[in-house]
């Protein structure tokens, strides 16, 4: 086990730069998740860590040892691949023992370690089968097993859950977390799914276009997103964005939302700037509150325990945010979503009262998209 230190790593293919100055320090035993939309460079960074790709510049240290120019096999890391990369011609036992055999370990010891790992993962009854005869979840476990028998300094996981169906994914997610707690091995996990990132990570590294947007633990990521991209990426449904010029009101900054002047907990010096106000769907409540407004929902979706209310945004508040930044469904700037827990019967077309607390508003500069603290 060891910490990992990534210093100023860049990667470019010709003139195309896919990683720009990536620096990160991972503590011993930490579970770090790289998350971002496809093409953000997260998998490239993982491959550079594994030694499968060469960094254009920068250094990588694992456990204090400079491994930047070492072959993958000499880095003492294990990797779990998205499609598991189990060898179809070998049995589960030989698949798991492959790395140890390549390192010339004697057969008895390999057998012992494979048995151990198989027991931990509950695949000891499958050892003589071939990968073809396994279900998706079992293959996933065998792939994990192949990583843990090596007892490496670090695990690298490249979207290991994306080939599983939704139910199994939730289950396996919890299992990987438990496995990490049990083994305590430094783990770097790549995913495009913010829920996986939020539920598993000690720290999240959120990336876009090869640039780190924010490094923080899941709670901080949710409460204090560093910019519009992070705010929109984390949380489901994504944060609502409303645009407004800043005015002053009683010595503090204020914005105009849904025809109401809303006083912000921010200094009056903001006045005159265009800002984007972020409001999470779950922070909009039913019934009157500090800022109350009455609307006619465009659409009401019921999920049983909660309802999503789609609300039209007044023209003046529509924020033009690049929808490609949004990972989930493409949200239009003219709609916000309110997420109401255990609401009464409501349907589209009926007028309802919604409210929110200005203390929950996130403020971002409209031009630079950076959070205003």
Is the CB of 141 or the CB of 362 nearer to other proteins?
A: 141
Say if strands 57-62 and 4-13 run parallel, antiparallel, or are unpaired: antiparallel
Quick check: bond before 35 cis, omega within 30?
A: no
Is the CB of 75 or the CB of 203 nearer to other proteins?
A: 75
**Residue 125 CB, nearest approach to other proteins (Å):** 19
**Residue 13 CB, nearest approach to other proteins (Å):** 13
Is the CB of 156 or the CB of 337 nearer to other proteins?
A: 156
**Residue 154 CB, nearest approach to other proteins (Å):** 11
Distance CA 229, CA 226 (A): 8
Question: Which residue ranges make up the site for other proteins (CB under 8 A)?
Answer: 50-52, 71-74, 77-79, 81-83, 85, 87-90, 98-99, 102-103, 130, 132, 146, 150
| Tokens at 250, concatenated | 């009683």
SS3 55: coil
| Tokens at 104, concatenated | 């010339």
**Residue 89 CB, nearest approach to other proteins (Å):** 4
Is the CB of 4 or the CB of 284 nearer to other proteins?
A: 4
Is the CB of 140 or the CB of 317 nearer to other proteins?
A: 140
Is the CB of 132 or the CB of 167 nearer to other proteins?
A: 132
**Residue 325 CB, nearest approach to other proteins (Å):** 29
Angle made by CA atoms 289, 290, 292, in degrees to the nearest 5: 60
Contact by Cβ (8 Å): 312, 240: no
Instruction: Write a three-state SS string for 187-224.
Output: EEEEECCHHHHHHHCCEEEEEECCEEEEEECHHHHHHC
Exposed, middle or buried: residue 135 (CB in 10 Å: 0-12, 13-18, 19+)? exposed
Query: What is the CB-side half-sphere exposure of residue 284 using CA atoms within 13 A?
Result: 26
SS3 349: coil
**Residue 39 CB, nearest approach to other proteins (Å):** 18
**Residue 93 CB, nearest approach to other proteins (Å):** 14
Is the CB of 104 or the CB of 250 nearer to other proteins?
A: 104
* Torsion of the alpha carbons at 242, 243, 249 and 251, rounded to the nearest 10: 100
């Amino acid at each position: 086990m060891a910490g990992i230190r990534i210093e100023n790593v860049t990667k470019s293919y010709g003139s195309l730069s896919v990683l720009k100055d990536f620096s990160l320090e991972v503590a011993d035993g930490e579970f770090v998740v790289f998350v971002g939309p496809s093409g953000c460079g997260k998998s490239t960074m993982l491959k550079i860590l594994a030694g499968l790709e060469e960094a254009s510049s920068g250094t990588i240290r694992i456990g204090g040892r400079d491994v930047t120019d070492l072959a993958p096999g000499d880095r003492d890391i294990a990797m779990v691949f998205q499609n598991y990369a189990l060898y179809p011609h070998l049995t589960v036992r030989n698949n798991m023992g492959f790395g140890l055999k390549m390192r010339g370990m004697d057969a008895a010891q390999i057998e012992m370690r494979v048995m151990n790992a198989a027991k931990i993962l509950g695949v000891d009854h499958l050892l003589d089968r071939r990968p073809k005869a396994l279900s998706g979840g079992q293959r996933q476990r065998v792939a994990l097993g192949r990583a843990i028998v090596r007892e490496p300094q670090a695990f690298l996981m490249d979207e290991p859950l994306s080939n599983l169906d939704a139910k199994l994914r939730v289950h396996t997610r919890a299992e990987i977390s438990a496995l990490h707690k049990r083994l305590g091995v430094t783990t770097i996990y790549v995913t495009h799914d913010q829920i996986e990132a939020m539920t598993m990570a000690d720290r999240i590294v959120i990336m876009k276009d090869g640039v780190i947007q924010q490094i923080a633990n899941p709670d901080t990521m949710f409460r204090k997103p560093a910019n519009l991209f992070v705010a929109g990426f984390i949380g489901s449904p994504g944060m609502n964005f409303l645009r407004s010029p800043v005015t002053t009101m009683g010595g503090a900054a204020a914005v105009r939302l849904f025809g109401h002047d809303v006083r912000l907990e921010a200094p009056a010096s903001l006045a005159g700037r265009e800002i984007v106000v972020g409001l999470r769907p779950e922070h909009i409540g039913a019934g009157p509150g500090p800022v109350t407004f009455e609307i006619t929902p465009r659409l009401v979706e019921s999920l049983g325990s909660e309802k999503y209310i789609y609300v039209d945004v007044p023209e003046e508040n529509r924020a033009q945010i690049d929808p490609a930044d949004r990972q989930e469904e493409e949200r239009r700037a003219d709609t916000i979503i309110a997420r109401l827990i255990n609401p009464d019967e409501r349907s589209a077309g009926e007028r309802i009262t919604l409210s929110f607390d200005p203390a929950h508003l996130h403020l971002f500069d409209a031009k630079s998209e950076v959070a205003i603290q």
